[in-house]
Amino acid sequence: MNIYEYAMQLELDGERYYRELAEKIEDKGLKNIFVMLAEEEVKHFIIFEKMNKQQSFVAQHPTNLMKNTLSSFRRMREENPNFYFSQQYVDSFKSALRTEQNSYQFYLEKGNMLEEGEQKEAFLRIAEEEKEHMILLQNLLTFVMDPHQWIESHELKMPL
């Protein structure tokens, strides 16, 4: 398995995991967040697939994931001020965070090993997007554990 196939598998696993979480969660806001994360993984998969086939690819444009998530958090808190998630969900969110951390480290390391060019840029850009996913999931964990406190103390930590 080459580096691109490995990256494709990481993204495929991530997409599958986020879609499974979206299916299990009843809250529309959280469901939407996990669907957005799954779609981000699909975009990454396509880039790595094109690299693997030595096809040209277009670098992704920045997404509004963080901005959309912030809106979702606000809406969720307003609609349901008494949020509660079981430890099973919290553990699932923590697992997703660890996966994003590992992906970030992998893409950053591989990107830094490549010569300057389109592929290096793609790896480093995807690493930064995985870092955004980490920030999102860190905030999600704080939010589901204490939504009232999150709005007051964490809202400004999300880059827009």
Average pLDDT, the chain: 84
160 pLDDT tier (thresholds 50, 70, 90):
very low
Map out the domains of the chain as residue ranges. 3-157
pLDDT at 159 over 70: no
pLDDT tens profile 47-79: 999 999 988 877 666 667 767 776 776 776 677
State the pLDDT at residue 156. 44
pLDDT tens profile 75-98: 766 776 666 777 888 899 999 999
Instruction: Output the DSSP codes for 3-57.
Output: HHHHHHHHHHHHHHHHHHHHHH---HHHHHHHHHHHHHHHHHHHHHHHHHTT---
Spelled out in words, what is the top-level CATH class assigned to the domain 3-157? mainly alpha
**Which has the minimum average pLDDT: 10-19, 39-48, 68-77?**
68-77
State the pLDDT at residue 56. 80
**Which has the minimum average pLDDT: 7-16, 83-92, 94-103, 110-119?**
83-92
For residues 109 and 19, what is the distance between their CA atoms, to the nearest angstrom?
27
Q: Enter the pTM of the model.
A: 0.82
